[in-house]
């Protein structure tokens, strides 16, 4: 019979005595940080992003991070008219960052 201590030694997370286990939010932030380190985009910064539809750049879009399926980057633009609940989102596929995103606008 295997001892519990032996089983816990092989767990996927590393537990630091006195610290709580990481929350889902902590793990997601760490994951996004490591994903974003491979590219030069920083969450919260504004960029010019090329619209796939007309090929024109849209200025002042805030980078929100990766989409849920991690296949594209998500940018948020200025809101719609005052008092409306419109939100402008633009997606850029992974791998198209160099040609579709510019930090100069």
Q: Provide the pLDDT for residue 37.
A: 57
Are 101 and 50 within 8 A, CB to CB? yes
Q: What is the pLDDT along the chain (105 residues), one digit of tens a residue?
A: 566 666 656 555 566 778 787 787 887 777 666 655 556 788 888 999 888 888 888 888 888 888 888 788 889 887 655 565 667 788 888 878 888 888 865
Helix (H) or strand (E) holding 76: strand 72-76
Residue-wise burial string across 14-27, b where 16 or more C-beta atoms lie within 10 A, e elsewhere: eeeeeeeeeeeeee
Q: Provide the pLDDT for residue 22.
A: 78
């Amino acid at each position: 019979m295997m001892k519990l201590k032996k089983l816990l030694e092989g767990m996927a997370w590393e537990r630091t005595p006195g610290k709580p286990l990481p929350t889902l939010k902590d793990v997601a932030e760490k994951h996004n940080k490591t994903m974003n380190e491979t590219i030069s985009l920083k969450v919260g910064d504004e960029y010019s992003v090329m619209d796939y539809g007309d090929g024109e750049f849209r200025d002042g879009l805030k980078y929100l991070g990766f989409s849920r399926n991690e296949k594209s980057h998500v940018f948020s633009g200025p809101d719609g008219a005052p008092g409306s609940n419109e939100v402008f989102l633009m997606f850029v596929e992974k791998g198209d960052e160099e040609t579709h995103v510019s930090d100069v606008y």
